[in-house]
Structure 1
Amino acid sequence: MKALYIASSGMAAQERNVEVISNNIANMRTTGYKRARAEFQDLLYQQYRQAGATTSENGTMAPVALEVGSGVRTAATPRIMSQGTVAPTEKELDVAVRGEGYFMVDMPDGRTGYTRDGSFERSADGQLVTVDGHAIQPGITIPGNANSVHISADGIVEAYLDNDTIPTQIGQLQLARFVNKAGLASAGNNLFVETASSGPAQVGTPNADGMGDLLQAYLESSNVNSVTEIADLIAAQRAYEMNARVISGADEMMQATSQLR
């Protein structure tokens, strides 16, 4: 009975949906995290009669088709790249992007990673790095005699050295943007990597050419909405239960048929 396989595809799809939702909820407090959403597609249809098929010798045609689908599948899990809430941290090396753009990071395998997580640190040699120790592109080194660091909205990094009252510019942060940012591939550790679908990175200066501006001593929170995720979870659970009931009903029908035999 096809109903068993159709309903089982529905259960598998909702199981994947719950996995996506659970990952969103788990990352509610992850800096710069972008929520994902499961999208579904119906499967191939078995057509018993096509719309417009001749139904009599007089040439009358069927106004609608007679067809039965094969179930559902998870088609994609795109990320929703909307802006998360920007919250103050009171830490001078924390930087939030307000608007378009990603920080560029040197990954261990030589690739460039892209992130919205601006919780930067200073390495042993003064280099500006991520919490995992990956250097920021372009490289910025904070002198050892720097008393404080100032990062402007357009990415200019300045440091007050020794007893100087005038800051010294030590670098310029840059951002990258993409034609299709939803096409970026997740690499873990709050990093994305470029793909053929995302298009090449367009590098520019913050607060110019459509790039977002920077906020020092702020971080971007996750864009996960707990109420939305709980509502989606309940809907997924109910859909899973309905598919399970279909399997149970199909089993009862098959049992009744076998008893007739």
Structure 2
Amino acid sequence: MTGRLTGKVALITGATGGIGSATAVTFAGEGARLVVTDVDEDALRALAARLESAGADVLAARLDVSSAGNWQEVIELTRQRFGRLDVLVNVAGIVDWPGIENTTQDAWDRVIAVNQTGTWLGMKTAMALLRASGNASIINTSSVLGLVGSGAAAAYQASKGAVRLLTKTAAVEYATQGVRVNSVHPGVVATPMIQDLLDEQGDRQPDIVRTPMRRAGDPAEIAPAMLFLACDESSFVTGAELVVDGGLTAH
């Protein structure tokens, strides 16, 4: 099946990262018109050029997801360029590894601002345009660490747990308004955000050891989950948690 997103406009945050870029490529291949956003403008231009060379209709816009004003600007650009928005994929996120006592106030505030507040701001700011679509989908990126504890990464885990429940309450709120809201929960995935850790620890990385498949996932293995939730095949799916983790949370 091809063209699963034909006629739809999708906005992706954190689009230059591993999962974001894989999602953008997958969506473009299925016919979506794209709004790709990130804070890294050089990487954003390179991604847009790559997508356009493959025939995609792309708007690239710098977006700091923690900024309400920046969100308003990007949504207005989307309205002017495409006149609609059908899919919002909140991927942008950062990680901080320390536990409770070693997490600094500044680090805590930054992680919450990007991962949690950024997701809320995206839904809040884009909702009128999504609702006007009449058949819209929001996909929020949580994590397996939004489902289970690890004993570390206190700020990251708190933010991803918040994204999980924020998704569910939004799903209930907008269930009769033509907007579905679901979360995706990746396990250990080889993205730039954790590549240094994977390079250092390799197969000895504790979460990989606990993963039944005994390996990290590839961003291209997360993108199809995003696609399913974005397209009309998931029309009766809202408030769900789609876990893509090689079995990590199965035991």
Q: TM-score, normalised by structure 2?
A: 0.22
- Structure in which a larger fraction of residues adopt helix: 2
- What TM-score do the two structures reach when normalised by structure 1? 0.21
The structure with the largest strand share of the pair is 1
- Structure of higher RCO (CA pairs closer than 8 Å, 6+ residues apart): 1
